[in-house]
Amino acid sequence: MDKIVSLARRRGFIFPSSEIYGGLNSCWDYGPLGVELKRNVKEAWWRYMVRDRDDVVGLDASIIMHPRVWEASGHVAGFSDPMVDCKKCKMRWRPTDLAEPKCPACGGELTESRQFNLMFKTFMGPVEEAASIVYLRPETAQGIFVNFENVLNTTRKKLPFGIAQIGKSFRNEITTGNFIFRSREFEQMELEYFVKPGADDACLEEWTQYRLNWYKNLGMNPENLRLRAHRSDELAHYAKGCYDVEYNFPMGWSELEGIANRRDFDLTQHAKYSGKSLEYFDEETKEHFVPYVIEPSAGVERSTLAFLIDAYAEEPDKDEIRTVLHLHPALAPYKIAVLPLSKKEILSDYARKIYADLRKCWMVAYDDSQSIGRRYRRQDEIGTPYCVTVDFQSLEDGMVTVRDRDSMAQIRVKVSELSYILAAKLSG
């Protein structure tokens, strides 16, 4: 993990939040490369979950919702973790994270365990009173449930169908750490897939496989991925079944995504609290019922971290070791780097034209400083799949060198065919 943290910091993927003020615990800022990587993760999810399917539509709901939403969902009463304090150094811990009943930081004695609600509270409007309390959403799912009827009426979708959303969530986590794995502000990629009761068990199995394939399709090593079914004593009270997709992180196997059968719990609760019927009418059978829901819920930061860890390699290159990120081209911040062999104007004019042309389709880097070997290394380290090297010969024969990040093989291609060749390589 230290190597990933250092690379992420050094190359501008991830910085501690408010760093010039000493940072803010478990809040992170995404730099020029990190923001591209994260956008690509979200884009890949959206394409796979929404655009490639005709049974899923998207949504972007407000982060601040009516406070009754969180009463109905059970978060006000029950979204809490047990917490203990160290009597000596005052650090706070989740008892479930501790191997022994003493403070891991100083060995001090711990207080009795008490419940701590993880929702961030704030006030809406100018008066700070109980009536104006609102919450920063701790999950994006509830925005989907409260819009179930709106989406149903406006899209005329028939069961089974899903509503997908990507957005920020906030949890006042007691213990944080492991870099961006557990943050207090993070993004979720959630789908609520509504089905007829009875079709739910098979649907849970289908979504589990479909989600596992998303990680594999994006190049994640299957040996670092596993599914773990929740034991009945682990299940949330509303859940009928649940799987975690786990990744073999440096700190051990940990949850990347949860895929749960939430039954009709949420829609039933919102119907009860809002007084609005959230039933579905099945035109074929003429039945009214509340659909069941299967929820694959993934974290953007956890996926991003897992993709970074999975892609990281140190490999021998001649007499040295090169650091390389074998990121899938769909995720790589830059797809291509254009590298003119010299800064001479005649060559840079030519190279800049190529650069301008490629930028119409892709995120492309341009780098003309230091030796070509160093520049290849820099691009390898940030995961750029292809480098295009422009040399003086190019001015005469209209050809450039394309270097492959993974094999380091180089081929000479015509500039007139470059876009076409790169498009074929990048798509795979």
Residues that bind ligand ATP (CB under 6 A): 171, 173, 182-183, 186, 188, 255-258, 297-299, 301-302
CB of 81 to ligand ATP, least distance (A): 8
Please give the backbone phi and psi of residue 200, each rounded to the nearest 5 degrees, phi first.
-70, -40
Which CB atom, from 224 or from 274, has the smaller least distance to ligand ATP?
Answer: 224
Q: Residue 355 contacts by C-beta under 8 Å, 6 or more apart in sequence? A: 338, 364, 366
CB of 95 to ligand ATP, least distance (A): 14
Question: Concatenated DSSP letters for 210-256?
Answer: HHHHHHHHTT--GGGEEEEEPPTTTS-TT-SEEEEEEEEETTEEEEE
CB of 174 to ligand ATP, least distance (A): 10
CB of 357 to ligand ATP, least distance (A): 39
| Of residues 135, 202, 167, the one with CA closest to residue 58 | 167
Which CB atom, from 303 or from 384, has the smaller least distance to ligand ATP?
Answer: 303
Question: Concatenated DSSP letters for 335-355?
Answer: SEEEEES---HHHHHHHHHHH
CB 340 within 8 A of CB 390: yes
Which CB atom, from 262 or from 405, has the smaller least distance to ligand ATP?
Answer: 262
Integer Cα distance of 395 and 334 in angstroms: 25
Which CB atom, from 192 or from 257, has the smaller least distance to ligand ATP?
Answer: 257
Integer Cα distance of 173 and 183 in angstroms: 8
CB 117 within 8 A of CB 124: no
Integer Cα distance of 224 and 357 in angstroms: 39
Q: Return the SS3 of 163.
A: strand
Which CB atom, from 171 or from 405, has the smaller least distance to ligand ATP?
Answer: 171
Which CB atom, from 255 or from 381, has the smaller least distance to ligand ATP?
Answer: 255
CB of 27 to ligand ATP, least distance (A): 11
| Of residues 45, 113, 65, 126, the one with CA closest to residue 85 | 113
- Token pair of 16 as six digits: 């501690």
CB 141 within 8 A of CB 295: yes
* Alpha-carbon 234 to chain mean position: 24
Which CB atom, from 302 or from 378, has the smaller least distance to ligand ATP?
Answer: 302
CB of 168 to ligand ATP, least distance (A): 11
Integer Cα distance of 7 and 308 in angstroms: 10
Residue with tokens 């990347």: 256
CB 197 within 8 A of CB 289: yes
Residue nearest to ligand ATP (CB): 299
CB of 318 to ligand ATP, least distance (A): 40
Which CB atom, from 207 or from 386, has the smaller least distance to ligand ATP?
Answer: 207
* Alpha-carbon 47 to chain mean position: 14
- Token pair of 421 as six digits: 């060749």
CB of 386 to ligand ATP, least distance (A): 31
End-to-end CA distance of the chain: 30
Which CB atom, from 28 or from 366, has the smaller least distance to ligand ATP?
Answer: 28
Fill in the amino acid letter for 144. Answer: I
Which CB atom, from 42 or from 359, has the smaller least distance to ligand ATP?
Answer: 42
